[in-house]
Amino acid sequence: MDPATAKLIGAGLACTGLIGAGIGVGTIFGNYLNGALRNPSAADSQRIWMFVGAAMTELLGLLAFVVAMIILQ
C-alpha cells in the first residue's frame, strides 16, 4: 500500500475515537437534564460537575482528533 494512502486511512481510523466521546458527552448532558427535571432544586449545585465531566469526556475524543491531525501532518 502506498504510505500516503495508509496515512489517510490511519487518520480516519483515529477519528473513530470521537464516536465514544460523542456518546459520552451526550450521556452526561442527557443524564444531567434527566436529574435536573426530577429534582430542579438540586440542579444548580451540580451544574459545575456536569461541565467537569463533559470536559473530561470530551478530552478523550479530542485526543483522538489530535492524533489524527498528527498523522495527517
Partner 1 sequence: MHQFELTKKVPLELFGYDVSFTNSSLWMLIAVVAASAFLIMSMRGRSLVPTRFQSMAEVIYEFMAKTVRDVCGPEGMKYFPFVFTIFIFVFFANVLGIIPGSFTTTSHISVTFALALTVFVFVTLVGFKTQGVGYLKMFVPEGVPLLLLPLIVVIEVISYFMRPVSLSVRLFANMLAGHILLKVFAGFVIGLGLVGGWAPLAFMVGFTGFELGIAMLQAFIFALLTCIYLNDALHSHH
Partner 2 sequence: MIAAIVAAAATHAAPQSSGMPQFNPAFYPSQIFWLAISFVVLYLLMSRVALPRIGEVIEERRDRIQRDIDSAEKAKRETEKALAGYEKALADARGRASGMAKETRDKLTAEVDAEKSRVDAQVQAKIAEAETRITATKTKAMASIGEIASDIAGAVVGKLTGSDATPDEVKKALLQVSSK
Which residues contribute to the site for partner 1 (CB under 8 A)?
48, 51-52, 55-56, 58-59, 62-63, 65-66, 69
Minimum Å gap between C-beta 38 and partner 1 is: 22
Choose the stretch contacting partner 2; rule: CB under 8 A; options: 13-21, 35-43, 55-63, 65-73: 65-73
Q: At its nearest, how many Å lie between partner 2 and the CB of residue 8?
A: 9
Among 9, 33, 42, 70, binds partner 2 (CB under 8 A): 70
DSSP 3-45: HHHHHHHHHHHHHTHHHHHHHHHHHHHHHHHHHHHH-HHHHHH
Please, are residues 58 and 25 in contact by the beta-carbon 8 Å criterion?
yes
Tally the C-alpha atoms within 13 A of residue 30's C-alpha that lie toward its C-beta.
6
**Interacting residues with partner 2 (CB under 8 A):** 69-70, 72-73
